[in-house]
Structure 1
Amino acid sequence: MAMNKKQLLRSYATGERKFVGIKLSEFDLYGINLCGADLSDIKLEEFDLARAILRGVILRNAKLTDSCLDSADLTGADFRGANLRWSSFNCANLTEADLREATFESNSFYKASLIGANLQGVNLRDANLQEANLSGANLEGAILTKVTFDNTIMPDGSIRTEND
């Protein structure tokens, strides 16, 4: 089903929360509030979701490549199986987010909050985690090759810099 931003917001306002696989015709979703929505299988390539309020949103198997999620509130979001290549999460709140099985490539999480996030087994190769907070995050089996750490708070509360 194809929708524009206005139609999406109207449906959300009437209580609809299931938008699985919809196709959006607009790329600017800056500041949109879709808390608790099910956006599984949605394709949002090159979308602007900066400052979006997406607490508890389900984005399983979504395609969010090359999108901007800077300063977005993604607390408790479910990104399992999502394709997040080249997307930025600078200053985003990903507290308690489930990122297992998500695909990353050259992502930026500068100053992002990943407190208690589940990153088990994900490949974060070439990611920027400068000043990110990973307190209590699950990094078991995560690939951290060529990740940029600078004043990064690690899961155990220690501070890691690039020279560590």
Structure 2
Amino acid sequence: MTEKRSYHWLDTVEGLSLVGAVLGTGAGFVFQQVMYASAPVTLALVMNFVNRQRHHQQMQQQTIDRIANARLEVERQVELQVQDLREETLSREQQQPTAVAAFDIAPLENQVQALQAHVQQPMAAVSSLEGQMKDLAAQIAAIAAQSGGHLGNNLNNVAVEIPPLSPTNDATAERTNQFWQQYESGERSFVGINLAGADLTEPEIYLDGIDFSNANLEAAVLTAMNLGATTFAGANLKGAQLDNVNFARANLVGANLVDANLRGANLRGANLNGADLQGADLAYADLTQARLDGAKLDNANFFRTRQVGTEMPMVPVRVGGV
């Protein structure tokens, strides 16, 4: 209130100064005296300057007040929005059910692996029986050729010897026993190991992460084995019995799989870059998203092989027979 009265007083003095300046100017002309005009004019100029300063300060103060009010309004709006968001979050947390405790999937994985092993056992038995039937057919054909066509007369006098399911000599059996002893003791690296002709068939054991790099497994029997995520880089698996083996995500880069039996094998996501699969039997195998860059597939059997997302090299393959 005092400030307004001060401003009113200044406006009054400025007005009186201007009136005085006009009257002084008139008196100066009448009486030929400059002093009558100089004092009122000077006073009017001074009061004008003072009023200009006052208006400038007033405008500046109004601007500051507006900025402060705007800032307070923005802060108030932000505070209200934060409060609404906090209340909405608390409301949703109260409505949500209690968080479920972390679920341990390890037992479930073990059950799945055991189930897979049990499922693969009949398939392994069928594959073994199929091999025995082939050997028996070959022996019968040889006997027929030797008898000159008189197989019916001589068949009763011929004793056909069926080879054992797992033909191994003492040295191979000893190496096999040593391998299992090392595995059970916690060893997982078997780089360069010699298990040629060994029968490692243990469908209920999951050999996940085993390293068989550059190992010699020629003619070895690993029927229906669980070998997911294992490493066979540069390994010799020529003629090996790998039917129904689980090779999911396995590293088989540069492996020798010539004439290997991979019927029904799971090779999903396996890396077979540079592998030699010439003459290999991959009937009913699953090669989904497997990598075969530079692989040799001449005369390999791909009858009903699953090849989703797999780029097959353009080579002669067998796809029309079982």
**Which runs of 4 or more aligned residues in structure 1 lie more than 3 Å from their structure 2 counterparts after TM superposition?**
3-15
Match of 1:153 in 2: 306
1:162 counterpart = 2:319: yes
State the shift of 1:140 in Å: 1.3
How many angstroms does 1:88 deviate by? 1.3
Deviations along 1:103-155, one digit per CA (max 9) or x if unpaired, are 12101110000000000111210000000000010011211110111110014
Q: 2:194 corresponds to which residue?
A: 43
Name the CA shift for 1:10/1:140 in 2 (closer, same or farther; >3 Å): closer
Say which SS state the counterpart of residue 152 (structure 1) adopts.
coil
Of residues 94, 97, 101, the one that matches 2:247 is 94
Matched residue, 1:26: none
Deviations 1:69-120 (A, max 9, x none): 1100010010011111110110000000000111121011100000000001
Note the C-alpha offset of 1:54: 1.6
Gap regions ≥5 residues in structure 1: 18-36
Q: After the TM superposition, which of the residue ranges 126-135 and 44-53 deviates more from structure 2? A: 44-53
Q: For the structure 1 residues 74 and 12, does the alpha-carbon distance in structure 2 shift closer, same or farther, using more than 3 Å as the test?
A: closer
8 Å CA contact retained: 1:62, 1:79: yes
> Normalized per residue, which structure has more helix?
2
Q: SS of the residue aligned with 1:153?
A: coil
Alignment-mate amino acid for residue 261 of structure 2: S
SS of the residue 1:61 aligns to: coil
Look up the match of 2:225: 72
For 2:280 and 2:178, the matched residues in 1 are separated by 35
Paired residues of 2:192 and 2:214 also in contact (CA < 8 A): yes
Summarize the alignment of residues 21-60 of structure 1 with structure 2, pairs less than 5 Å apart. 37-50=188-201, 51=203, 52-60=205-213
Q: Shift of residue 14 of structure 1?
A: 4.4
Normalised to the residue count of structure 2, the TM-score between the two structures is: 0.40
More RCO (CA 8 Å, sep 6+): 1
Distance 1:9 1:80, change over 3 A: closer
Structure-1-length-normalised TM-score: 0.76
Aligned equivalent of 1:111: 264
Q: Which runs of 5+ in 2 are unaligned?
A: 1-173, 312-316
Give yes or no for contact 1:90–1:108 (8 Å, CA) kept in 2: yes
How many residues align? The count is: 140
Larger Rg computed on CA atoms? 2
Counterpart of 1:140 in structure 2 is 293
Q: CA deviation at 1:53?
A: 2.9
* Aligned residue identity for 1:97: A
Structure 1 residues 144 and 11, CA, compared in 2 at 3 Å: closer, same or farther? Answer: closer
How many angstroms apart in 2 are the aligned matches of 1:14 and 1:129? Answer: 34
Q: Distance in 2 between matches of 1:132 and 1:85?
A: 18
